[in-house]
Amino acid sequence: MIPAACDYLAVDSAEAAIAALTEHGDDAKLLAGGHSLIPLMKMRLASPAMLIDIGRVTDLSGIEERDDHIAVGALCRHADIERSDVLLQHAPMLAHVASQVGDPSVRHCGTLGGSLAHGDPASDLPAAALALGATIVVRGAGGERRIDAADFFTGIFETALAADEMLTEVLVPKTHGAGWSYQKFNRRAQDWAIVAAAVQLGATPRVALVNMGPTPLRATAVEQALAAGSSAAEAAAIAAQAGDPSSDLNADADYRRHLAIVLTRRAIAAASKP
């Protein structure tokens, strides 16, 4: 299907993008890689009156080590994240999960900021942000805000971003060699996850689930069980309680609950290996 007609504006700075968002409000959408927004526009699930192209904003595409965390620009492509030596050393789960997104053509166009701002519960990178305890930096007419990833996803395809704000970077804590694993179940390599589990161990275990509810979500009961010393099997047994999965052509809700238990157990076991 062809998207509805809209106006188009290309900008070359975050300030210009924010000014355009402020002017057009809810009628505007930001366009970066386009792999999240354009399909929605083709299905008429999104019909912005103004499309603001931020692909020329070059200062939001860096990956920088800063003290105890890594700052990843919102316009970093998945392929750049996948190959980043800094991330491979200090936050390897993020690099690995980026390598699991779609196919090479998607990874060379899609951006981290676009994936997070889209808020798709079936997407890979939001779960990685949750499991890593990332902080999401947004900027708008009122200045800059920092939002914990756990507070960022508010509903299906909905986030804490205001209409005049854009996501500028993601702050990922260094993992200091802690164990991690990402277990994804899908029919074909390039498909969305039917269910996936992201586990980051360490002083504070974090477990995030994909496609187990209307938002990417943390399995806090599993995290508490791990912190209390439960085994992988014991902790994973309560993973299905974390969400309220839907049924669709790929899987019914009960099958998703089963997958959540199996994949969480595998992820905890893999993350626990020396």
Note whether 85 and 128 are same-domain residues: yes
Q: Is residue 244 in a domain? A: yes
In the chain, the number of structural domains is 3
Write out the two tokens for 184. 């994804």
**Stretch (H or E) spanning 184:** strand 180-185
Write out the two tokens for 50. 């103004």
Q: Is residue 141 in a domain? A: yes
Q: In the prediction, which pLDDT does 144 show?
A: 96
Q: Is residue 66 in a domain? A: yes
pLDDT digits over 159-194, tens only? 999 999 999 999 999 999 999 999 999 988 778 899
Tokens 């809209």: give the residue.
6
Does residue 39 register a pLDDT over 80?
Answer: no
Q: Is residue 186 in a domain? A: yes
Containing domain of residue 113, as a range? 58-173
| Of the residues 122, 140, 173, the one at which a domain ends | 173
Number of H-type helices and E-type strands within the chain: 12, 14
CA distances from 138 to 41, 143, 144, 166, 237 (A): 24, 9, 6, 5, 36
Half-sphere exposure of residue 90: CA atoms within 13 angstroms, side-chain side: 19
pLDDT digits over 78-134, tens only? 999 999 999 999 999 999 999 999 888 889 999 999 999 999 999 999 999 999 999
* Rounded-to-integer distance, Cα 179 and Cα 202, Å: 7
Note whether 102 and 27 are same-domain residues: no
Note whether 157 and 81 are same-domain residues: yes
Write out the two tokens for 220. 């806090």
SS3 128: helix
Q: Is residue 1 in a domain? A: no
pLDDT digits over 194-224, tens only? 999 999 998 899 999 999 999 999 999 999 9
* Rounded-to-integer distance, Cα 183 and Cα 197, Å: 5
CATH at 233 = 3.30.390.50
Note whether 29 and 105 are same-domain residues: no
**pTM for the structure as a whole:** 0.94
Write out the two tokens for 72. 């990843």
CA distances from 64 to 33, 60, 76, 163, 173 (A): 21, 11, 11, 28, 12
Cβ(38)–Cβ(118) below 8 Å: no
